[in-house]
A and B are shown apart, each in its own frame.
Chain A
């Protein structure tokens, strides 16, 4: 990799196109490793500008039922952190452009060993990390991750006041993830107006791109959010689409991967169709 990192390059490209991006979240190994790999490979062509890949964890405290269940399905199907990294490496052999950000909780990384994890993740072609339960007060992964060339993406929320925002943004790289509601994934939705105000506040504090997530379910919502932010993140709706395409034994029905990618295409169309933004700050 030369020059800018994949995440920065992708946001530069979106800026040139004058549109916001779509960040698609899926859980690695959901509903099973083989099906999940097919979904992952298909995401860029379906219109995902960035990929957030969930690392399954037994106790996902910040997630709502849809992502909890996707995590459980993946673990039941034998998914591990090692296999998640292998899945990224396989993806990278075919796609060297689409950024992949791993999202999850700290304990599986802790068990893997921080130093080993950051070097394995970088070697696999991971671009960034979002670790829900590592606020800036617990910096033990940030420094090694950034030293290994991985961006560390921090969450900011409606409860993050200006004073705290400085602390959070001081260590952030890649982009800033704005959690648009006080709540768990896949529940309430924030209005585009509230998100606009929040994003404007963030832009006064940082030059990093801002992606907005939690509660975005439809292509219309995705378009509205992509219109006021640099990217919209959709997760629960996608893993719910996985769940809707399982048979009674929990196995993927024929056409399950297409059904998920169809929703990604729909969301991408919503994002692409949004009014072109004026260049902001």
Chain B
């Protein structure tokens, strides 16, 4: 299902009209690049960081020169075999890559349909996929000669991963975290402090993840020379969405090889949870042009999309501009950003990465949502059947699989991104579930 109307003029530009936000996009470039961009889902973004009408660089002028510098540095690093070798070294020796692709036999039998494989990002050092991009970006910051790293965090997972790589490379680290999140994620705050990071509370606005990102941007504007901003997801101004995607794409690249080894072919479907969208994009991107692979992303419906207390930006938001990019946002009619709600702090963000917004509009990826309750049930199911305690974020993907696996044939190969482990969520789960599950 397509969200734009396309007009191709014989010798003129290709025009795409998006009724959802009344915007017309002109696809620039030569005929050749334009044809290429229409024949693949993997060509984006354009040179200005746009995926269709999404993405871009909506930042204050003070930051623009710096963001252009990050882009130049990243473009140079991509071409440098030393950078690739360094990254590969830390991926293998420090993170413990490749992460296994595990056949979940009991879960498969229980759901009675598709053959389920779990991509075990929960087994990475620090317990989630976040570390992949942190290693890549910290190596980049070091190449750029930056002496200080800042980050934002919601649940604390990205903050912990950032504090970890800063400890590894000996770089001073400041993590911004909403005051509300600091109160509800105490163990991660303690971990970050042990790792040598300074955790600064964001007290403005709703005092959660979006406000932590605002504070990090304010810090960056104030410390442009010394500081690298290590963004945790496939969002923010260009080049962050593409850079984080590239670092996370190791997930999908490994899955291609591992599935070939296990089953001798590609998977039939991919499932991942989505907040900002980095674990999902990391799994999906290498498969976007394999049109027979069905791709499903699962947003957090919180207490239910109809209640207004949710984090389902694509399901219930509309296009807007925040934190450096155009994308789908939870907002009111006046363009004020609304608070997101989810049992999972990692999905608790009112926006989504711009490439996901584009994939949503062109219909390549299916975006669905599951509630807190469904995620919690899936959390227990996975824990009991497989002895794997999923992060509440990843449990959203499990919940979607529970809904559909039975309808898929037994020869259907489904890959679920187990993006993180759930130890961090035990208090929350205990509070919600009571004494015994």
Report which of B21, B48, B65, B211 forms a contact with A160, defined as CB distance below 8 A. Answer: B65
With A133-B321, A157-B62 as contacts: A187 and B331 at CB distance below 8 Å: no
User: What residues of chain A lie closer than 8 Å to B322, measured between beta carbons?
Assistant: 59, 107
User: What residues of chain A lie closer than 8 Å to B223, measured between beta carbons?
Assistant: 182
B contacts with A: majority SS? mixed
Q: Check if A112 is an interface residue, CB within 8 A of chain B.
A: yes
**Residue in B closest to A56 when the chains form the complex, CB atoms:** B336
Instruction: State the Cβ distance, B139 to closest chain A Cβ, in Å.
Output: 24
Mark out the residues of chain A between 11 and 65 whose CB falls within 8 Å of any chain B CB in the assembled complex. Answer: 57-62, 64-65
User: What residues of chain A lie closer than 8 Å to B48, measured between beta carbons?
Assistant: 137
How many residues on the A side are at the interface (Cβ–Cβ under 8 A)?
47
Report which of A114, A138, A156, A160 forms a contact with B56, defined as CB distance below 8 A. Answer: A138
Mark out the residues of chain B between 189 and 248 whose CB falls within 8 Å of any chain A CB in the assembled complex. Answer: 204-205, 210-211, 214, 217-218, 221-225
In the complex, are the beta carbons of B22 and A113 less than 8 A apart?
A: yes
How many residues on the B side are at the interface (Cβ–Cβ under 8 A)?
42
In the complex, are the beta carbons of B221 and A161 less than 8 A apart?
A: no
Instruction: State the Cβ distance, B361 to closest chain A Cβ, in Å.
Output: 16
Instruction: Give bound CA distance, A113 to B24, whole Å.
Output: 12
In the complex, are the beta carbons of A107 and B65 less than 8 A apart?
A: no
Report which of B22, B23, B214, B321 forms a contact with A107, defined as CB distance below 8 A. Answer: B321
In the complex, are the beta carbons of B57 and A138 less than 8 A apart?
A: yes
**Residue in B closest to A168 when the chains form the complex, CB atoms:** B61
In the complex, are the beta carbons of A81 and B334 less than 8 A apart?
A: yes
Mark out the residues of chain B between 38 and 69 whose CB falls within 8 Å of any chain A CB in the assembled complex. Answer: 48, 56-66
Instruction: Give bound CA distance, A68 to B217, whole Å.
Output: 14
In the complex, are the beta carbons of B221 and A182 less than 8 A apart?
A: yes
In the complex, are the beta carbons of A61 and B218 less than 8 A apart?
A: yes
With A132-B60, A160-B65 as contacts: A107 and B221 at CB distance below 8 Å: no
Q: Check if A108 is an interface residue, CB within 8 A of chain B.
A: yes
In the complex, are the beta carbons of B62 and A182 less than 8 A apart?
A: yes
With A137-B57, A161-B65 as contacts: A107 and B335 at CB distance below 8 Å: yes
User: What residues of chain B lie closer than 8 Å to A111, measured between beta carbons?
Assistant: 318, 320, 331, 333-335
**Residue in A closest to B61 when the chains form the complex, CB atoms:** A155
**Residue in A closest to B203 when the chains form the complex, CB atoms:** A65
Q: Check if B329 is an interface residue, CB within 8 A of chain A.
A: yes
Among B22, B318, B336, the most chain A Cβ lie within 10 Å of the Cβ of: B336
Query: Measuring CB to CB, which residues of chain A are less than 8 angstroms from any residue of chain B?
Result: 57-62, 64-65, 68, 72, 75, 80-82, 105-115, 132-135, 137-138, 140, 154-161, 164, 168, 179, 182-184, 187
Not counting A159-B61, A182-B223, a sample of 4 additional A-B residue pairs whose C-beta atoms are within 8 angstroms of each other reads A72-B205, A110-B335, A133-B321, A135-B61
Query: Measuring CB to CB, which residues of chain B are less than 8 angstroms from any residue of chain A?
Result: 21-23, 48, 56-66, 204-205, 210-211, 214, 217-218, 221-225, 318-324, 326, 329, 331, 333-337
- Nearest 10 CB-CB pairs, A to B? A111-B335, A108-B335, A183-B222, A58-B336, A157-B62, A155-B61, A107-B335, A133-B58, A80-B334, A62-B60
